[in-house]
Amino acid sequence: MNRRRSFNGGRLLVGLAIAVFALISYFGSKEYNPIIEEDQYIGITPDQEIALGLQAVPEMTAQFGGLHPDVEAQGFLDSVCRRLISNSDAGQADWPYECSLLVDDETVNAFALPGGQVFLTAGLYNRLQSEGQLAGVLAHEIGHAVARHSAQQIARQQLTQGLTGAVVIASYDPQNPNSAATGQMAAVVGQLLTMRYSREHELQADRLGVRFMGEAGYDPRSLIDVMNILAEAGGASPPEFFSTHPNPENRIEAIEEAIQVEYPNGVPDGLIQ
């Protein structure tokens, strides 16, 4: 009995040490992002972030059929991308921005890799009806890069894995198979928290997209049109709590609020739609 108590106590101490280390590592990674004016917890350096993104480019490009051969469409994408970077606060971030059109015309998607590599599938590009809508898609993805969401996700995943591992070690009892359920529940909770962080990042990227669009001379209301396009293309979706992206209706509401903050007197005339 004493040996078992000692064994249990040892597990608790090891679990506590792992949890403390995970927390210290996470909260010790705080950095200030001057563009979004927020403190962030970052898991990797900017150079590591850029390298990680560039390393993933070939695989992600191949996954969506490669780069699109339409030179005119790619040129249009480049011009809108350059306008956003050159005329908004996004240009203050020292990322090697590049916007690329992908062949896949079935998938309706756009995404940003760490460090500023932005991709848009032909499936989404062909559904867009205006330059402003294209700017909205790109501004949203550029917002992910500016806010360093990938680096934040890495830091949060490291924290979640550390705390989950601590719970598993501290709660596991080889003489009680049911004790494994505690560790499994901790893993599920950690996954749901990570999804919630992803949803928060999507909403923040929408708000940054509104800001960058306006600064570059685009009508941010075009981003609402993009949400409607995505809603039509998405069909049935899982409950928001179990999804990494907010429901389109909630995103539209958040975009409208962001527009009201940026333009309390109304969106001015003359912006590109």
The token pair at 60 is 């992600």
Specify whether the CB–CB gap between 74 and 112 falls below 8 A: no
Residue 58 buriedness (CB in 10 A; 0-12 / 13-18 / 19+) = exposed
**Closest-CA residue to 229 (of 89, 141, 110, 113):** 110
**Three-state secondary-structure class, residue 40:** strand
**Total number of residues shown for the chain:** 273
| Pairing status of strand 117-121 against strand 30-33 | unpaired
Residues 6+ apart with CB under 8 A from 206: 140, 143, 223, 251, 254, 255, 258
Q: Which of 141, 215, 240, 253 is catalytic?
A: 141
* Helices marked H in the chain: 2-27, 46-63, 71-86, 122-125, 131-146, 149-171, 180-215, 222-234, 248-262
CB under 8 Å to 183, separation ≥6 — which residues? 164, 167, 168, 171, 172
Residue 141 annotated to the active site: yes
Distance of alpha carbon 110 from alpha carbon 200, whole angstroms: 18
Catalytic residues: 141
